[in-house]
Amino acid sequence: MDRAVDSLFAPLTFRCGVTVENRVALAPLTNGQSNDDGTLGRDELLWLCRRARGGFGLVSTCAAFVSHEGKGFVGQLGVATDAHDEGLATLARSLEIEVTVPIVQLYHGGARCPSALTGARPWSAVAAQEDPATHPDAARAGTTHEIERAVEDFVRAAERSKRAGFAGVEVHGAHGYLLCQFLSRHNTREDGWGGALEGRARIVREVVRGIRARCGGDFLVGVRLSPEDFGFAAGMDLDESVTVARWCAEDGADFVHLSLWDHTKPGQKRPDEDVIALFRRALPSDIRILTAGKIWTPDEARSVLARGSDMVALGRSAILNPDWPMDARTDNWAPQRGPMSASELAATDISPRFIEYLKRFKNIVREG
């Protein structure tokens, strides 16, 4: 491979002016390594800085809750109150030292916020019951006031992220969390926040518009979307998702992050069309596309870029290969695919708490 023309290691400039030094991003990954109140935990700091040091051009935090009621995970990072400011500033400063562009993923779990964490019954676009085995609290339909408050919470969290020193934010509109719950065709509200796509997309559009208006034109803003149904993301239509992506670009988003789960699989609705290429054709050329979904090898990453994506976002491959961007510059390098022992994972700055969480997934932690 001629490194002078290697697409993976070419710099990329977003519409807002932010430039990353390569096309490899660390995907936002739940890790449970922060404190119970959402303040930054030392283990979360070490985990993220280790990946930044490994050469990732863009590093995202885990999904960080924008309000206490929106918290979805034990040990989740918060970007909701003044108490979170010091840790956020430490994290932003530490990541920049490693010569990476740091962003915060902004999150509200909606129906998937356990009352055991929040102390309140969850709410969503409409009354809903998630899997009772994992989410025993049935969600109620949120009020107009609660929806407007959630929009403001996202915008204030973005402002908090900017003050802390982060280059931008990613709005989490995927994976069946609050914004995705509103985008879903199951959102049958009749008050302007549901029904037709214009109503269902209103909440994410108002979030993007608010962030752009309050954080300025030089702040990096992205939106993560689940293009079609998968897992908890129910009621998602491919054509509607393309339209939402285009609207978000009009509203001020600099990038769209496609959560594909497996980049090699065709779309459900249009199996003869490449999903990445479909979004590329629909979006303005200066709107960047990030793609995640079982991307392991450098050649796989390059193929994703060749199909129209501007960056690849690595999840499991980044967990097991903290130096992936640097190692990928070596001809014939093959990433570790796991499973790995707890001690091997610990050597890459993954804490015992994160290791315990990873045990729920196949082929990451080797038993014994």
Per residue in 222-233, pLDDT (tens digit) is 999 999 999 999
pLDDT value for 356:
97
pLDDT value for 113:
97
pLDDT band, residue 332 (cuts 50/70/90): very high
pLDDT value for 129:
82
Which 8-state DSSP code applies to residue 356? Answer: H
pLDDT band, residue 158 (cuts 50/70/90): very high
Which 8-state DSSP code applies to residue 41? Answer: P
pTM of the model: 0.97
| Dist CA 12 CA 20 (whole Å) | 5
What mean pLDDT value characterizes the chain? Answer: 96
pLDDT value for 5:
62
pLDDT exceeds cutoff 70 at 91: yes
342-358 pLDDT, tens digit each: 999 999 999 999 999 99
What's the whole-number mean pLDDT along residues 44-71?
98
Percent of the chain with pLDDT over 70: 98
63-79 pLDDT, tens digit each: 999 999 999 999 999 99
pLDDT band, residue 136 (cuts 50/70/90): confident
Higher pLDDT, 368 or 59: 59
pLDDT exceeds cutoff 60 at 266: yes
What's the whole-number mean pLDDT along residues 42-49?
98
pLDDT value for 131:
77
283 contact partners, CB below 8 Å, separation of at least 6: 245, 246, 249, 256, 289
pLDDT exceeds cutoff 80 at 207: yes
Which 8-state DSSP code applies to residue 27? Answer: P
CATH code that applies to domain 3-337: 3.20.20.70
**Cβ–Cβ < 8 Å for 37, 80:** no
Q: Extract the runs of DSSP E, i.e. beta strands, from the chain.
A: 12-13, 19-20, 24-26, 58-65, 101-107, 123-124, 140-141, 168-173, 220-225, 255-259, 288-292, 311-314
pLDDT band, residue 3 (cuts 50/70/90): very low
Lowest mean pLDDT among 4-18, 230-244, 302-316: 4-18
What's the whole-number mean pLDDT along residues 49-75?
98
pLDDT exceeds cutoff 60 at 4: no
pLDDT value for 1:
46
